Structure 1
């Protein structure tokens, strides 16, 4: 075989190698950026502590996230990450690629879950939401007030209103206690912030009384901008030793006995929360107040009003005298 033929064969061989290499690179690059087979059923998965690369890839093949284990193993080898995959609960987006999956496993980007506590909720409603959330680890044997107060390290007598209404994000199997502690700590920070920026000459002995007032405002307010005015009415009443006469406090006091229609007998019945009977704030909050309501309680509007009545459009009519108030009641409460 002459040198010319040998040279041609070498060129052909080199071209074959080049073509093969190009195909391998194309195959690998396309694998990196093409979406995986993510469905609603296989988007969430758990990598348990101690799992190795083989076990993880086989698990992902079994649930059809990966079509085969070889390419993903090759990918981890190329990036030198075969020993860097972390345990955790993960959730893949519908358009996730193999590169996204590797990044998630290497950096432990666990999926976050959430629970929301809307403004105006009661403690019982919060606990109901926690119990219904399958991603929260239930560690408390009892959800009674004493157990919760001890768990969140609170010296208060009542647990009502001690949590800030918000959406809280957490990793799977975060405990119920951690969720409650977090919500309680946020409430303490928010309340302290508002307290440090409060108006002068308020009738509250401490932050807790301001929180109680905020919870009442929360249940009375229909539109946010009215909160300071409603706060102003209640502050005016406290300053002249006049009962707050807030229907939501009465309803809270009778709880399960309330069937949706507040009657005169309810207004006359004594409970520690009935502000038609007592000339003071109730002993605890009646709901989770928003920051808007907390700020309103601590920065009430200056007003001569002592009364307000619902107008039917989520707003209220405010009056300075009983005569004006009765006239407004006849107009709006037909």
Structure 2
């Protein structure tokens, strides 16, 4: 008789371990703080909205021998969760991850806006100015523009936006250092920072990967010959929020530190976040004699070595009736 009772109890336990638990909502967020005991965790599971006896759940944690392996974090539970799957998820640290994408060509203002909109990302940078943010990231005195690598970054619920920025900053440091170490030896660039500035201009001038090395060559050729870069994206950047979508002649003549129609050489900072393609183009420009380019209207550009040729291309591609 005792054997039958034991067998029945054992069967009930195994059934309970693999039976989906009822939830108060289609999905439940469960946050586990570091140092939470197995007993307190079992109660937290019930408090989060899972219909389970916390004593039974605590007993399962202890009986399994895996209670010490439970990892703190943010987890998402759905209607398929069972006591056995719950423990496995917690031991494996299978947190519910969100993601935020920083897009190639975005400026720093757009980065901050994206972080502010990101789901369940803690806005520790919201009340900080640019200098304070860079100090918190361990880079005091560095301006933030262009310093973060455009990519998709995953994070757990409640993570700090500063942690995302730190990862993006380190990623750009690595990408830029690798590009600089592999640069063409005769570039008229004095530092990785100048390569980053040039890459940001290339990024904003075209979205077509095949054109980037040629566009970089135009600017490199101009730097070598002492010509003004005369690139519209730098003027637009210098205008900031005053830019209304239309670039006028008076804007090209209005001096700012970023106006490459009025000032020689590279602007003082990047104007956007360059991606890998723009970084590589900046340090490996195409071999060409081109000094000018004009958009064809299909996303590509026409390149010219002389002003006369450029003017003909402008008439062909920009002044068509």
TM-score, scaled to structure 2: 0.87
Distance 1:27 1:321 in 2: 86
Determine if the alignment matches structure 1 residue 224 to structure 2 residue 209. Answer: yes
User: Aligned match of 2:184 in 174, 182, 199?
Assistant: 199
1:268 aligns with 2:247: no
Instruction: Please give the alpha-carbon distance, in whole angstroms, between the structure 2 residues aligned to 1:311 and 1:35.
Output: 60
Q: Deviations over 1:271-304 (max 9, x none)?
A: 1111122221100000010011101100011112
Q: Which residue of structure 2 aligns with residue 238 of structure 1?
A: 223
The separation in 2 between residues aligned to 1:270 and 1:301, in whole angstroms, is: 31
Distance of 1:228 and 1:184 partners within structure 2: 25
Unaligned runs of 5+ in 1: 1-12
Q: Does 1:209 align with 2:199?
A: no
Rg larger in structure: 1
Contact 1:42/1:65, CA 8 A, preserved across alignment: no
Which one of 155, 164, 187 corresponds to residue 170 of structure 1? 155
Give the drift of 1:127.
1.6
Question: Which residue does 1:257 correspond to in 2?
Answer: 242
SS of structure 1 residue aligned to 2:259: coil
List aligned pairs for 1:315-330, cutoff 5 A.
Answer: 315-330=300-315
Kept in 2: contact 1:229–1:303 (CA 8 A): yes
Q: Distance in 2 between matches of 1:230 and 1:213?
A: 10
Task: Label 1:88 to 1:222 Cα distance change in 2 as closer, same or farther (>3 A).
Answer: closer
Equivalent residue, structure 2, for 1:125: 110
Moved more, 28-37 or 255-264: 28-37
Q: Does 1:148 align with 2:133?
A: yes
SS at match of 2:31: strand
1:181 aligns with 2:166: yes
Alpha-carbon separation, structure 2, partners of 1:230 and 1:137: 39
Unaligned 5+ runs, structure 2: none
Matched residues, number: 319
Contact residue 130 and residue 144 of structure 2 kept, 8 A: yes
Contact 2:29 2:48 in 1 (8 A): no
Question: Paired residue for 1:9?
Answer: none
What is the CA–CA distance in structure 1 between the aligned matches of 2:197 and 2:173, rounded to whole Å? Answer: 13
Q: Separation in 1 of the partners of 2:121 and 2:175? A: 25
RMSD, aligned α-carbons: 2.7
Instruction: Find the aligned partners of 2:195 and 2:314 in 1 and give their Cα distance.
Output: 29
Number of the residue aligned with 2:88: 103
TM-score by length of 1: 0.84
**Higher mean displacement: 61-70 or 288-297:** 61-70
Following TM superposition, by how much is the alpha carbon of 1:31 offset from its aligned partner in structure 2, in angstroms?
3.8
